[in-house]
Structure 1
Amino acid sequence: MLQRKFAEVVKSHFPSAIDAKDTSIQYLGKMQMEHDIDISKVLMATSVCSDDINVPSTTFFNVLFGPFIMGGLGGLPFAGQTGMTAFAHHIPDGGSAFIFYGPHIGITLDGDLGKMYRPRQEETGNSCGALMLALNRFHDSSYRPVINDDDYQQIKLEESLLDYREDILKSENKEKAITEATYNIIDKKIHKHIVSCKNEFHVDKVTLLGGIIINTDYGLDDYFVAKNFEVIDLKSV
C-alpha cells in the first residue's frame, strides 16, 4: 500500500519514472535482446552521487561486474579522462561496457522534493545534499564559488551549475530544476570523456543509461527516470 502511494507521488512530479528494480530488468533485457550484448561479460561504471543512499537503487549492481566508480558529489564524473581510461582498460576480454549515470533527488510521501527519511533518522534530510546546499547558496545573489582544496568537489559542482543558476531560481520547483540541470552537465561530460578516450577501449560497444534516481523512504523501492539509453559504436564516434 505504501509503495503504491509513493508511486503516485513520484509520478505526479516525474510521470515517466519507473521502479528502480524494473529499470534494471528492462534495460538489461534491451542490451541482451536488442543489441546482442552478453551481460555476463559487461563491466559497469557509475557516475552517480557518492551518497550512500544510492547503493541499493538498482539491481545492476547484483548482475554486472563492477562498479567502477567515476562519480563524486552530485554525480559529476570527477574521475575524468583518467578514470574513463582506467575503466576502458578493465573491461573483460570479449566483453562490453555499461555506464549508469545521473543525479538523485529525494521525495517524501507528502511530495516534498529534495527531502527524504534516511535510515534510523526521525527527521527528513536533504537528498541530494550537495545539490540542495548549492541551491541554498545560489539564493544569495552575491555568492560565487571559489575553488579550494578543502571542498573541491562541492565548489566545482556549484561552478558547473552557474550557467543554469538564473533558470533554476526562476523555476517553480527549484529542487527539481537543479537536479535536471545537473543531469545535463553529467550527460555532456560522460559523452565528452568517451570521445576523448575512445582509443583506450578494446571493445566495440559502450552502453549508456542516464537519468535521475528518485529516493523514497528507507526500505521502499527507489525510482528512476531514464533520459538517455544508447549503445555507442566506438568505431563511428
Structure 2
Amino acid sequence: MKELEHTIRSHYPNVETGNEVTESYLNFLQHEYNADLSKMLFATSLCCDDINVSTNFRKVLTRPFSMGGLGGLPFSGFTGMVAFAHHIPDGGDAFIFYGPHIGMTDDGELGKMIRPGQTQLTNSCGALMLALQRLQQESEVYVPINSELDYQQTLLERTVMPYKHRIITAANPQKEITEVAYEEIHKKLKLLIRMSRQEFKCDRIFLLGGVIVNTSPNHQDAVDIRNFEVVNTRESDDNVPAFSILESDAFMNL
C-alpha cells in the first residue's frame, strides 16, 4: 500500500483519498462559508464510467445533477447548466465537482486498472485511452468523423485533437491526455457558468475540480484537487459571450 501511495504521489503530489477530500471540503463549506448542506444542490461533470464513486459527496449532498459524459466533458451543455441553475433550493447554494479520471495498476502503470469483480486490466479512462490510441496511430492521420451513434466519443476526440503533438510527445501520454481533459472540462464549465450566471437562483456557486486516480479494489481511490473557487452569481460580467436565449415558458421553467 505504501509503495503504491508513493507512486501515486510521484505523479500527483497533492493527492488525497476520496474520503479525505469529501470530509475536508464539506467541513470547509460549512464552517468557512456557513453553507447549509441540506439546501445545497450538487452537480458533477465527471466521466460516466461506473468506477467514478471515489468521493462520498453523493451520500451527504442529495439529488446529484449529472452534467458529465465520456471523459468528464460537460455534455449537458448550456441547457443543462440553466436547468441546474433553476433547480437550486431556496436560500441554498450550488456545488459542482468536476474532472477526468485515470487508472493506476498496483505496479504503477497509468491508464489501466483492475475493476471490481474482474481479474484482467482494462483502460481507465477508457474513452480517453481510446482517443489516445487513435491520436498515436501512424498509418494515417486520424480525423474524428461525426456520428450520432457515438457523439460523445467523437466530440471528446475533437476536443483533444488540437493538443495532439503535446500529448503524443509527452513523457507519459496517458497522463498528458488526462491533463488536457481537465483543462478543457474546467474551461468549458467556466464558460457555461458565465453564459448562464443570471439564471442561478442562488448567490454562490462552489467549484471543486481535480483528477481522480482509480486504483484496484484493494486500495482507496484518490483525488488530486486542482481548483477550488467561489463564483458570485450577482457580480456583473461584461465579457459574457453573445448567445441567444429562447424566451419561452419551456426555457424559463427548465
Which residue in 1 is equivalent to 2:206? Answer: 207
Once residues 72 and 219 of structure 1 are traced to their aligned partners in structure 2, the CA distance between those partners, rounded to angstroms, is 27
Matched, 1:20 2:18: yes
- Structure 2 counterparts to residues 86-105 of structure 1, below 5 A: 86-105=83-102
1:48 to 46, 49, 56: 46
Query: Residue 108 of structure 1 is aligned with which of 102, 105, 109?
Result: 105
Q: 2:142 matched to which residue of 1? A: 143
Verify the 8 A CA contact 1:41 1:65 in the aligned structure 2.
no
What's 2:60 paired with?
Answer: 63
Structure 1 counterpart of 2:74: 77
Question: Which aligned pairs between 1:34-45 and structure 2 lie closer than 5 A?
Answer: 34-45=32-43
Instruction: Name the % identity.
Output: 49
Cα distance in 2 for residues equivalent to 1:220 and 1:44: 26
Q: Deviations over 1:70-102 (max 9, x none)?
A: 000000000001110111111111111000000
Corresponding residue number in structure 1 for 2:244? none
Distance 2:37 2:183 in 1: 27
Determine the structure 2 residue equivalent to 1:169. 168
CA RMSD of aligned residues (A): 1.1
Paired with 1:31 and 1:192, the residues of 2 have a C-alpha distance of 23
- State the match for 2:159 in structure 1: 160
Counterpart-to-counterpart distance in 2, 1:6 and 1:64: 31
Q: Does the 8 Å CA contact 2:203/2:234 hold for their aligned counterparts?
A: yes
Deviates more, 1:81-90 or 1:215-224: 215-224
Q: Is the contact between residue 47 and residue 102 of structure 1 (CA under 8 Å) also seen in structure 2?
A: yes
Deviation for aligned residue 1:219: 4.8
Paired AA for residue 47 in structure 2:
C
In the alignment, which residue of structure 1 is the partner of 2:215?
216
The SS at the match of 1:57 is coil
Distance in 1, matches of 2:48 and 2:196, equals: 23
The 1-side partners of 2:122 and 2:137 are apart by: 22
Q: Which piece of structure 1 moves more, 18-27 or 211-220?
A: 211-220
Deviation at 1:52? 0.2
Note if contact 2:72-2:99 (Cα within 8 Å) is conserved in structure 1.
yes
Amino acid of the structure 1 residue aligned with 2:12: F
The size of the alignment, in residue pairs, is: 234
In the aligned structure 2, how far is the partner of 1:201 from the partner of 1:108? 41
**Residue 131 (structure 1) aligns with:** 128
- Hey, which of these two has a bigger chunk of helix by percent? 1
2:163 counterpart letter in structure 1? Y
- 3-state SS of the aligned residue for 1:221? coil
- Take 1:5 and 1:48, find their aligned partners in 2: how far apart are those partners? 28
TM-score of the superposition, structure 2-length normalised? Answer: 0.90
Larger Rg: 2
Q: What TM-score, normalized by structure 1, do the two folds share?
A: 0.96
Q: State the shift of 1:207 in Å.
A: 0.2
Contact 2:87 2:201 in 1 (8 A): no
Structure 2 regions of 5+ residues with no counterpart?
238-254
